[in-house]
Chains A and B, each alone.
Chain A
């Protein structure tokens, strides 16, 4: 069974802090990777796709390490509104996605 593993947290950080999440994937055939954000009892929303070269979107930076099969998400200058669960996702090779169970982030004043 193809797995995506994440630390469930919660990560408790103060506003303005930098926080990083890692996840590992077991399917070496995976080609596409994503981070989704999910607020409590809401639908997951795509935060960013993860490219081989790494990519940045404002305060968010995603990195992919294919050799070690892990993906990271870095959030700089945390805001209260960043409090959510972050889902690490890899495609399964059959055009479906495998979701990690999520990492909870709590940003406090």
Chain B
């Protein structure tokens, strides 16, 4: 089945460590997004990419970086993790070639805890 997958699904790390979260998709979509979700704050956009050579900052990009290695892969890095980056992280995709180009499809999420 065409899908959006995220690895790892759960991660516990310590302050100051570098962490990479990975997202892969088999949907053939060109656009990919990274969000974080915190209780009471909803989903907030971190970074997004409309194709392999395109990277854009979202609402809360400080402390994060991304890499779009291929159309199907979009990685999120925390260069030096801090406790307030503890959250549920979601990757999403969308297809700009369709009329429903704004519809986004989400991966299962990565639960990150920074101690």
Binding site for B on A (CB under 8 A): 32, 34, 41-46, 49, 87, 91, 95-97, 99-102
Contacts and interface: CB of A to CB of B under 8 A. Distances in A.
Contact of B42 (A34, A95, A99): A99
B26 to A, nearest CB: 16
A45 B42 contact: no
Interface residues of B, number: 24
Nearest to B91: A43
A95 to B, nearest CB: 7
Contacts of A102: 42
Interface stretch (B67-75, B77-85, B98-106): B98-106
Contacts of A99: 42-43
B41 interface: yes
A99 B36 CA distance: 12
Nearest to A100: B42
B108 A42 contact: yes
Contacts of A101: 40-42
Contacts of B108: 42-43
Nearest to B107: A43
A32 B101 CA distance: 9
B87 interface: no
B101 A49 contact: no
B43 A87 contact: yes
Given A32-B102, A95-B50, A97-B104, A43 B109 contact: yes
B56 to A, nearest CB: 8
Given A42-B108, A43-B107, A97-B45, 13 more contacts: A32-B102, A41-B109, A44-B43, A44-B90, A44-B106, A45-B106, A46-B104, A49-B100, A49-B103, A96-B58, A97-B102, A100-B42, A101-B41
B115 to A, nearest CB: 20
Contacts of A49: 100, 103
Given A41-B88, A43-B109, A45-B106, A96 B41 contact: no
B11 to A, nearest CB: 15
